[in-house]
Structure formats: structure tokens, C-alpha cells
Amino acid sequence: MNVNVLCPSVNESELSFSVNEQGDIHFGLKAIKGFGENTSLAIIEEREKNGKYKDVFDLVQRVPLTSKNIELLTFSGGLDCFGLPRDTYMSLSDDGVPFNETLANFSASKHKKQESAMMSLFGDEEIDMGHPALPKIKKFDPIYLLQRESELIGVYLSSHPLDKYRFMMNGFGNLQLSDIDTLAEHESLKNKEIRFMGILEKLSYGTTKKGSPMVRFTLSDYNSTHDFLLFGRADESKRKSEYTIFKENQFKEKDIIVICGKLEKPWRSKDDPNAKLEFAIKDLKSAANMMHEHKSIQMRIDVQNITENFIHSLSKWIYPSDHGLNVTFIVKNENIHTDLSSSAYKIQVEDAFFSEMSKYPVEISFI
């Protein structure tokens, strides 16, 4: 039985973890960093008393929320149930004010009128104030949105920053950071380029006792983390140090980077026949830049999975062009593999392409 763990939701979450009607687990509103128990309780009690919120305007009219409250709900996924992209709430309204502030002002005005003496003249009669218009959406970097989600609830739930590059990771031999310490046990990897991808975290620069520069950082992938310590050298005339390569790339925290290396003997023990192989870093690259370095893409699929829907979806991205990546199909039929390629047709690699291909049983890797 698969159980999904979902982001907080103003329409389903309790204070702490709870299970919805579908059996999925929702993060509690109280789990949102900086959100506060009182506001969480106000949202839950109003929902239990008068039903689920129809939209964000219904929410802010029924519960007084500040612009900060709305910002925290936005980035944690608490407002996703209303079907608006998270970018919406932080985009600018027509008057140049961020939409979360517009909503907060609308909320404050509504609740002020409810409490005013003028409101009391009408008893329980409601005054229809209308509501602000939705802003023109300014698209935020999806990685930034995910990073904010992780900051507020401690994990990536709606998706993961590495998802964009998972097909490129397939071409790395499915190695994960947890495999680094046991690489020497795999003789088949000797003298082959080995690559790891992850999110850069806990970055700090320093110097050794002898005054050599060094950098510490942690790399994390879907399931594991690994700490790295790279040193500079006094003489780099023959070969740049790992530290220099790292610093020249101007990496910063939350960047997605690729570490390239090989299994080899430590240079101090290169003449020792009994020396154990170690993973030696040869290069470090930005994943985004590395994606553009590839010249072709390979797609592997069983012949019975080549359906009309698959062909229709694929045709949106492959057509005669001088731009894009070369594509090779490997069609599998029991023990027979057939390679199909074209020099005229190119594939246009975009995020939407990978999203659409994820619907089908096709293996994709960069070459």
C-alpha cells in the first residue's frame, strides 16, 4: 500500500500530521516554520464550523491573515488546494503591490467592517465587498519555490530540485552519493568516469594550519548526503586543484552540481601495488551547464509500449531542425534490440518534455 505524504493544506490539515479521506498523510499547519499555533487553530476552527474554504478570497474573508501568513502558506503548499500556481500570491497586483499584501489588506478591511458599529446596524446581513483581481503571474524559478518549501516544512514534498535532471542522472549509471564509500569494491568502475549529482549545502571556506585554502560542503541527493573537503595547492602550474576548480565555478548554496572523478590510487601511494583505490575528483560542473554540453539523447522502450498516445506526445518535441539534440531510439522486442536514429530530426529538450515523457515507460539518458 502506497501512502503519500502531502504538503500542509488549509482545507485538510490539522495542527499536526493527519490522514485525509484518501488515506494520505498531510503535514500539520503548525509544522510550517514561523506560522504559529493561534493562526493555525483559527483556520481549523473556522473550517470545522462553516465548511471548507472555496478559494483564497473566501479564506481571507473568514480568517484574518497577514501578508506574512499568506506568504508562509504559499511557499509551504498550504494554498495549493485552490488550484492557483504558487507564483500567483507573490506576483504584483495592478497597483504594484505584491498580491499577498493585497489579500492581507482585503482581509483586514473585511474584518474591520465586521467589527465596526456600522456593520452592527445590519445585524447578520453580509456586505458583498467583491474581491481583488488576480495579478498577472510572474513566474518564479521552480528551484527557488522548492527551496522555500523545504525551508518551511523541512523536506521537499511537492517535487524535488533534482527531478529536472533525473534523466541526465540515468546516464551516470544510477550511482548515488551513498555509494561513494564503497566504490573501491566495484572493479568494473576502475578507469571509468564516475559522476555524482546533488544539491550543494553547508558551504564554507577556510584555510589549513599551513595556510592553504580549503572549502567544505555537503552534497545531497534523493536519499543520502556526503561531506566533501577540497584543498588548494601552492603550485598549480601543472594541474588545478579541486579547490580552484570549485571556486572558479562560483558555486553557492542550493546550486545543483555534478562531481566527476575516477577510481585511482592516492598520488602518495601510486607505486604501492597494495594501495586501495579511492575516488579522486577531476572536475566539478553546474548541472544546468552540463545539460547543455550533451549532443544527443537516447530513448529505450519496449515495442509493445509504442502506442498512438506515445507517438502523439513525442511528435510535439521531435521534428526536422538544425537545433536541438540528436536522438537515438533503442526499441526492445524480447531479446532483439533495434537502434533507430536520424540526422535530420532533432529533439527539443525542455522541462515540459521530461514531464510529458514521465507518463510513459521509456528510459531516457543523455549521451
**Are 25 and 16 spatial neighbours (Cβ–Cβ below 8 Å)?**
no
The region of weakest confidence among 23-27, 114-118, 236-240, 283-287 is 114-118
- Please say which residue of 289, 324, 341 terminates a domain: 289
**Segment 224-233 mean pLDDT:** 91
- Taking the CA atoms of residue 298, residue 301, residue 307 and residue 308 in that order, the dihedral angle to the nearest 10 degrees is 10
* 142 shares a domain with 11: yes
pLDDT value at position 170? 65
**Segment 83-106 mean pLDDT:** 93
- How many domains does the structure of the chain reveal? 3
**Are 282 and 260 spatial neighbours (Cβ–Cβ below 8 Å)?**
yes
CATH number of the domain enclosing 216: 2.40.50.140
* 237 shares a domain with 207: yes
* 144 shares a domain with 9: yes
Measured between alpha carbons, how far is 158 from 80 in angstroms, rounded to an integer?
A: 10
- Please say which residue of 111, 138, 157 terminates a domain: 157
pLDDT tens column, 312-342 = 988 888 888 877 788 889 998 888 888 888 8
Measured between alpha carbons, how far is 76 from 86 in angstroms, rounded to an integer?
A: 9
Judge whether residue 117 has pLDDT over 60.
Answer: no
Instruction: Give SS3 for 46.
Output: helix
**Are 213 and 241 spatial neighbours (Cβ–Cβ below 8 Å)?**
no
* 87 shares a domain with 144: yes
Look-up of cell digits 564516475: 194
* 14 shares a domain with 139: yes
**Are 191 and 208 spatial neighbours (Cβ–Cβ below 8 Å)?**
no
* 139 shares a domain with 281: no
Q: How far apart are the first and last CA of the chain?
A: 36
* 118 shares a domain with 48: yes
In order, the DSSP letters of 262-288 are EEE--GGGTT-TTPPPEEEEEEEEEHH
Judge whether residue 37 has pLDDT over 80.
Answer: yes
Cα distances (angstroms) measured from residue 41 to each of 11, 30, 48, 162: 12, 9, 10, 35
* 309 shares a domain with 281: no
pLDDT tens column, 4-28 = 889 999 999 999 999 888 888 999 9
Model-wide pTM > 0.95: no
- Please say which residue of 100, 124, 157 terminates a domain: 157
Measured between alpha carbons, how far is 52 from 336 in angstroms, rounded to an integer?
A: 56
pLDDT value at position 121? 52
Radius of gyration of the chain (CA): 27
**Segment 79-97 mean pLDDT:** 93
Residue 35: all three cell numbers together: 506560522
User: Which residues face 332 on adjacent strands?
Assistant: 302, 337
pLDDT band of 118, cuts 50, 70, 90: low
Q: What percent of the chain has pLDDT over 70?
A: 93
* 59 shares a domain with 153: yes
* 109 shares a domain with 63: yes
pLDDT band of 344, cuts 50, 70, 90: confident
pLDDT value at position 171? 63
pLDDT tens column, 175-197 = 788 888 888 777 777 778 888 99
* 20 shares a domain with 134: yes
Measured between alpha carbons, how far is 62 from 70 in angstroms, rounded to an integer?
A: 14
pLDDT tens column, 139-148 = 888 888 998 9
* 80 shares a domain with 107: yes
Judge whether residue 29 has pLDDT over 90.
Answer: yes
pLDDT band of 87, cuts 50, 70, 90: very high
Q: Which of 233, 163, 54 is nearest to 62 (CA)?
A: 54
**Segment 27-48 mean pLDDT:** 95
Measured between alpha carbons, how far is 86 from 339 in angstroms, rounded to an integer?
A: 42
User: Whole domain around residue 301: which residue ranges?
Assistant: 294-366
